[in-house]
Amino acid sequence: MSSHNITVAGFCALALGIVGAEVAGRSARTSIPALSQVFTRIMRTRTGRVGVLVAWAWVGLHFFAK
Amino acid sequence: MERSGGSERRGRDVSAGQRAGADRPRTYAAQAASPRGLAERVLVTLSGARQPIVLILMAITFMTVISGKPLDGLLMLVVATALCWDAGMRARSAAVARQVALAGLSGTAPAVPADPADPPAEVGGPDGTGSRGPGETAYSSRKTMMNTRFDQAAGGLADVTNAPGAASGASAASGASATSGTSGVGAGGASGAGDVAGPEPAWPPRTTRPPVRAIGAGLAGSGVFALVVGSFMRYSWPATAGVVGLGSAVVLVGWGGPVRQRDAPPRFSRTGVTAWTSLLVFGGLWELAALLGQPDITTSSYAHPTISTLTDPLLAFPLGRATALVIWIAAGWWLLER
C-alpha cells in the first residue's frame, strides 16, 4: 500500500468517523452529542460564535482567495 | 408655582441623586474590571486563550503560516487575540460583578441600588414588607437578593465594558447566570475564562425557521454568487473579493449576536467530548503529517496529499468551484443558524 493510499485512507477514516459520530449522536442510545448540538453549545458565547465563523471564513479564503 | 417649581427641582435632584447612586457601583465595578498596565492586559488576554475555539484558531494560524501564507496567518492571529481579549474581559467583568454583589451584601463596598420598582420585595418578601412568601426560606430570600444585585451590577458592567452595540439590560454575566441553569456552566465555571454568554444581541433572534420567501431569496442569491465567483480562477482578485466580502459579512453578523434563538444543550458527557475532540485532533495531526511529508511546505505531493491537494482537481473547473462555494455558503448559513 503506497503512502498516497495510506494518507487518503486516513482522511477517509476521518470522514467515516465524523459520519459515525453524527449518526451515533442522533440516536438516543449514546451520550455522544450530534454535531449541531456541539456547534450550538460552542456558539452560545460571542467568542465561540465569532471564532467558529472566522474559521469558516478562513476555509473559503484558503481555497479561493489570494 | 414656587412650591411646584421647588418640588419639581427637588424631584430632579432626587432623580439625579438616584442616578448618581446608580452610577456609583457601575463606575466602581467598571474601574475594578478595567485592567491597568500592559502586564495586566496581557494576563487578561491570556486568560481568554483557554477558550477551545481560540486554541483552534491558533492552530489554524500556525498551519497557515507554515503553509506559506503569513498574511492570512497574521489575520487569524489578530482575530484570535481579539477573541482572547474579549473572552478574558467578559470573564473578568463577571467575576468583578459577583464580587461587587457579594461586597454589597456584606456592606464593605457600595451596595448596588435595587430597582426602584420593587426593592423591598426583592429583599424581603413579595409584599414588600420584609415578610417572606410561602415556602421561601431565609436562604432563598438572601439568594434572590444576591442574584438581583449581581445581575444589576453585571448589567452596569456590560454597558461599560462590552463592545459597541451591546444594549443595556441583559448582560454578559446575567446571561451567564441565566444560561447556567440549562448548561450547567456559569461564570467562572469549569469551562474556563470567557465561558460567559455574550452581550445583548444587536437584534432580536428568531425563534422559528426563516420565512420561505427568505429561504428562496437566499438560495437564489447563493446560486448566483457561487456561479459568478466560481467562474473566476482561484486566487484571482475577483474571487478573493467575493469570498472576503461574504466571509466578513457573515462574521460581522455573528459578532452582532445569534440570528436564531436556541436552547443551550446540556453539558456533554465525557464520552461525547472525547469522541469529537479525538476526531478533531486526529484530523489536525493527519493533515499536519501530510503537510510535513511534502518535499517543500508550499509544494504539493502526490505521495502525501493534504486536503487541499486532494480537492485541487475538483476546484480546477468552474462548475467544481461553484459546487464547493455552494457547500461553503450552506455551511456558513447552517452555522449562523446555531
- What distance in Å separates residue B243's CA from the closest CA in chain A? 6
Find out whether A49 and B314 touch, Cβ atoms under 8 Å. no
Closest CA relative to residue B309, chosen from B332, B290, B286: B290
Residue B190 has pLDDT above 70, yes or no: no
Q: Which of A37-51, B167-181, B215-229 has the highest mean pLDDT?
A: B215-229
Residue B156 has pLDDT above 60, yes or no: no
Residues of B whose CB is below 8 A from A44: 179, 183, 197, 258, 264
Q: Residues B206-227: what's their mean pLDDT?
A: 91
CA distance B95 to B44: 12
Choose among B235, B305, B328: nearest Cβ to A59: B328
Residue B160 has a pLDDT of 34
Extract the C-alpha cell encoding B225.
454568487
Interchain contact, A54 vs B302, CB within 8 Å: no
Secondary structure class of B236 (helix, strand, coil): coil
Residues 6+ apart with CB under 8 A from B146: B101, B102, B105
Residues of B whose CB is below 8 A from A27: none
- β-partners of residue B296 are B299
Task: Place B68 in a pLDDT band, splitting at 50, 70 and 90.
Answer: confident
Residues of B whose CB is below 8 A from A9: none
Q: Residues A41-63: what's their mean pLDDT?
A: 89
How many C-alpha atoms does A5 have within 13 Å on its Cβ side?
Answer: 2
Alpha-carbon Rg for chain B in angstroms: 26
Residue B112 has pLDDT above 70, yes or no: no
Q: Residues A32-56: what's their mean pLDDT?
A: 90
Of B131-135, B159-163, B230-234, B293-297, the one with minimum mean pLDDT is B159-163
> Does B179 lie at the interface with A, CB-CB under 8 angstroms?
yes
Residue B129 has a pLDDT of 37
Residue B172 has a pLDDT of 35
The residue among B169 and B100 whose pLDDT is bigger is B100
Q: Which of B54-63, B102-111, B151-160 has the highest mean pLDDT?
A: B54-63
Residue B105 has a pLDDT of 67
CA geometry: angle at B246 spanning B244 and B249, to 5°? Answer: 105
Q: Residues B140-160: what's their mean pLDDT?
A: 43
> Does B233 lie at the interface with A, CB-CB under 8 angstroms?
no
Find out whether B45 and B85 touch, Cβ atoms under 8 Å. yes
Buried b (16+ CB within 10 A) or exposed e, B239-252: bbebbbebbeebbe
Residues of A whose CB is below 8 A from B325: 60, 64
Choose among A46, A53, A55: nearest Cβ to B86: A46
> Does B198 lie at the interface with A, CB-CB under 8 angstroms?
yes
Residue B77 has a pLDDT of 85
Residue B199 has a pLDDT of 62
Residue B201 has pLDDT above 50, yes or no: yes
Task: Place B82 in a pLDDT band, splitting at 50, 70 and 90.
Answer: confident
Residue B11 has pLDDT above 50, yes or no: no
Secondary structure class of B99 (helix, strand, coil): helix
- β-partners of residue B206 are B260
As for the ipTM of the complex, it is 0.94
Find out whether B185 and B195 touch, Cβ atoms under 8 Å. yes
Residue B80 has a pLDDT of 85
Q: Residues B180-207: what's their mean pLDDT?
A: 50
CA distance B32 to B21: 17
> Does B283 lie at the interface with A, CB-CB under 8 angstroms?
yes
Extract the C-alpha cell encoding B239.
474571487
Task: Place B178 in a pLDDT band, splitting at 50, 70 and 90.
Answer: very low
Interchain contact, A47 vs B198, CB within 8 Å: yes
Q: Residues B56-75: what's their mean pLDDT?
A: 80
CA distance B261 to B276: 24
DSSP state of B190: T
* Cα→Cα distances A49→A55, B83, B320, Å: 10, 10, 29
Q: Residues A60-64: what's their mean pLDDT?
A: 90
> Does A4 lie at the interface with B, CB-CB under 8 angstroms?
yes
Interchain contact, A46 vs B257, CB within 8 Å: yes
State pTM to two decimals.
0.64
Residue B103 has a pLDDT of 78
CA distance B97 to B188: 12
> Does A16 lie at the interface with B, CB-CB under 8 angstroms?
no
User: Each residue of B302-314: pLDDT tens digit?
Assistant: 999 999 999 999 9
Alpha-carbon Rg for chain A in angstroms: 16
> Does A45 lie at the interface with B, CB-CB under 8 angstroms?
yes
How many C-alpha atoms does B123 have within 13 Å on its Cβ side?
Answer: 15
- What distance in Å separates residue A1's CA from the closest CA in chain B? 11
Rounded to the nearest integer, the mean pLDDT of chain A is 91
The residue among B10 and B316 whose pLDDT is bigger is B316
Task: Place B242 in a pLDDT band, splitting at 50, 70 and 90.
Answer: very high
Of A29-33, B70-74, B198-202, the one with minimum mean pLDDT is B198-202
The residue among A12 and B183 whose pLDDT is bigger is A12
CA distance A11 to B304: 11
> Does B297 lie at the interface with A, CB-CB under 8 angstroms?
no
How many residue contacts between A and B have a Cβ separation below 8 Å?
Answer: 189
Secondary structure class of B206 (helix, strand, coil): strand
Residue B26 has a pLDDT of 52
Interchain contact, B335 vs A31, CB within 8 Å: no
Q: Residues A39-54: what's their mean pLDDT?
A: 89
Closest CA relative to residue B242, chosen from B325, B307, B313: B325
Residue B108 has a pLDDT of 56
Choose among B247, B293, B303: nearest Cβ to A57: B247
Residue B276 has a pLDDT of 95
Residue A60 has a pLDDT of 93
* Cα→Cα distances B116→B14, B41, B90, Å: 12, 36, 27
